[in-house]
Structure 1
């Protein structure tokens, strides 16, 4: 009986000890959990406080980047305009020819901002003048350059004034007297017949003596395409040779008109052919240079010649020697 009572007391004591131990452990865990919560709360507070410190820095940095990007794309002070390509000043012609004193051509200007002052100046007013509206007027034979200024841009145009001064008639004066004394009458020595000059033979001589390769005698379709209006002019002879190569280094065209009034018309048609090649038709730099610098349109009586090539001046001399 005593042993049983003792065993029950021992079991009760152990139970109480175990319960006390468990309670203490739970309390410690609870306390630790509470402490951890406090620490976590403190850390959360610290994190929140850290956020309060770092947010302005990050915000300020973002503001700086945004401002920089905004300034690079839409700066109101004109910095954006500096990156845009400025409109280029261009003229309606980079070169043209006037065939008589007093004849004129008005240059047109493009690529100029509204309100920009445009000025025109002739390099040699004795050859050709130009007014404030760009009207160029021929004065005497020669070449000059017209300079156009708009703001900080300039452009130029070469003007050629080409015509022959009136020549005294070879049928009168001393020739008449000589004819009268030799023949006993009042007749004059007639001028050579224009048809005596064989343009086909002259072209053969020129292409043999000078370098003008890849030429083809133009048919009616080619004339209409490259020498518009020429087929409508009444002619005695027509020798128009066209270079159909992309590297067009020269051409020669000769015409004898029936009516001397058509000489100026043919010269204008020939010059239009030159101008079209200078202004893009020649494509490549060297052919464009040749058509610009080494092209000639000349006439003698009812004969008109256009020649383009390195030997143009020599060919002009040969042409004039025919008469």
Structure 2
């Protein structure tokens, strides 16, 4: 009995010793509940569980709405880096096809042409000396008396002006010569610079009109293609029948370019009875070109619409040019 009592005390003392050595249990030690579940003795509600995010702090995966999003382009920065490109403004201009030309007879005419860029309005033409040269509302300048005049065109759209000088070089009291006129009609047009070739040209008689000088005047006032004076063989091919007519002056200038859209032929016959023959030869030339000889549609149209055959006394002219009517006026003014 004593031994059992001693053993119990010894066991109790050992238990107290062990309890003292181990100390108190941690507050967060788990305890078993009667229903078998485990509960924690740690109860601080101020610390959130790790499985739930703290909503008071923004997650690192979500952008802060208070700061600009660097992933979106800054429009102001783009505008500064790429300034708007200004469209170039078309330069306005007004020009004439000639700045200085001469007329050698009362009634001689020259067709001025104006060009506006980028657009045109209505043109107004004026002469500062109508006693010397007049100008129509279409830009046709006509010589009145010896002297100089300035022709000016004004564009109503742009307000720009362009001017040129006309020099009327002739004697006011020089008598006119020549005979009655008869005219024919044909067709066609052209453009370009002119040059003359070589050929056999008769020297005009004293008192006759110098057709070579007239050709030089015409081709300086009106731009043709590359013209060449036809020789005897070419005259037979291009103007069949012309070589059979006796002439004092025979100057057929042919356009040597493939697209033949400009030509002029000037003839003074020895006998007035051959005037109609020469006019017929010239008309045949026009008809052949219109029928397909000119080949290109634009050239055919030019021969059809801008050609003329005219005569004054023993003088006959065929001209194919866009300024054909102005050239006819210059031809008539020779007589």
Q: Classify the TM-score, shorter chain.
A: 0.3 to 0.5
Q: TM-score, normalised by structure 1?
A: 0.42
**Structure having the larger proportion of residues in helix:** 1
Query: Per chain length, whose mean CA-contact separation is higher, i.e. which structure has more relative contact order (CA < 8 Å, sep 6+)?
Result: 2
Q: TM-score, normalised by structure 2?
A: 0.40
